């Protein structure tokens, strides 16, 4: 199994140019024989949308998604966008496979502290739902979802083998230390306790004075980094997965067998 993590910069409010970049990297991932390509949170629109939110929002049936549905017959695609549902807007992530959107996740936890103001413009999702892919049981988080133990517990209880995290995470003053290490700690803990892969795809670039640090990575089921991207640099990171490690990790640390979940 081969996955492409697309650590890209986006242009605020310019869906057309962001779409062109997404298509470019998707084609590169196909050329590299990848099975899945993943883009960051709000990859189609940029992050700090504010009053632009309604003008860039799409429904899950929007014709713009037709191209992704077609491409998903060659490669699975996961990406972030603004969803319009009856005049309410969600920070959402769509997963395309076999010509369809097989899962749509609405960001459940909207940060409204410090520089963040998502709660002013978005409605929150209601649940964390695992879904089946050709690779195995999968769940999708969007950035802040990862910081809530309830989200991790929901994914854990549903027996996921792959956790995909779409992120637009800005850096703090200690940009080479605190924030990247925080993400690695979060994902390492989840991967070790659930014997799963964690895939963190973070955007890069600057927007309205806010910098996004990149640093995307894949955390293996033993809780260690398999491969990671550079900080602050747009990059296509290609990672080959050894799916047998999931079963080996479960044998080494058989925590799941004592949980009230369906394991077989």
Q: pLDDT of 90-113, one tens digit each?
A: 999 999 999 999 999 999 999 988
pLDDT digits (tens, 9 = 90+) for 50-99: 999 999 999 999 999 999 999 999 999 999 999 999 999 999 999 999 99
pTM given for the model: 0.96
Residue 213: C-alpha distances to residues 84, 130, 185 (Å): 28, 28, 16
Instruction: Measure the CA angle with vertex 99, ends 202 and 106; round to 5°.
Output: 40
As its CATH architecture, domain 2-258 has 4-Layer Sandwich (3.60)
Q: Which tokens go with 102?
A: 């097989």
Domain chopping of the chain, boundaries: 2-258
């Amino acid at each position: 199994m081969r996955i492409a993590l697309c650590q890209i910069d986006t242009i605020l409010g310019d869906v057309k140019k962001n779409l062109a970049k997404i298509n470019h990297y998707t084609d590169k991932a196909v050329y590299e024989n990848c099975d899945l390509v993943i883009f960051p949170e709000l990859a189609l629109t940029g992050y700090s949308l504010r009053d632009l939110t309604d003008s860039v929002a799409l429904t899950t049936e929007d014709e713009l998604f037709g191209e992704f549905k077609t491409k998903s017959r060659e490669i699975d695609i996961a990406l972030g966008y603004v969803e319009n549902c009856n005049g309410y807007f969600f920070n959402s992530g769509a997963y395309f496979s076999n010509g369809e959107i097989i899962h749509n996740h609405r960001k459940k936890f909207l940060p409204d502290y410090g520089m963040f103001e998502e709660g002013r413009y978005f409605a929150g999702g209601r649940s964390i739902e695992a879904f089946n892919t050709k690779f195995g049981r999968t769940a999708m988080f969007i950035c802040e979802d990862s910081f809530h133990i309830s989200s991790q517990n929901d994914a854990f209880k549903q027996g996921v083998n792959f956790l995909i995290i779409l992120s637009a995470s800005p850096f703090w003053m200690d940009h080479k230390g605190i924030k990247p290490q925080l993400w690695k700690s979060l994902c390492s803990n989840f991967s070790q306790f659930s014997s799963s892969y964690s895939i963190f795809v973070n955007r890069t670039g600057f927007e309205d004075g806010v910098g996004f640090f990149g640093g995307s990575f894949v955390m293996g089921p033993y809780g260690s980094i398999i491969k990671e991207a550079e900080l602050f640099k747009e990059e296509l990171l290609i990672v080959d997965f050894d799916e047998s490690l999931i079963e080996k990790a479960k044998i080494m640390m058989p925590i799941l067998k004592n949980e009230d979940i369906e394991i077989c």
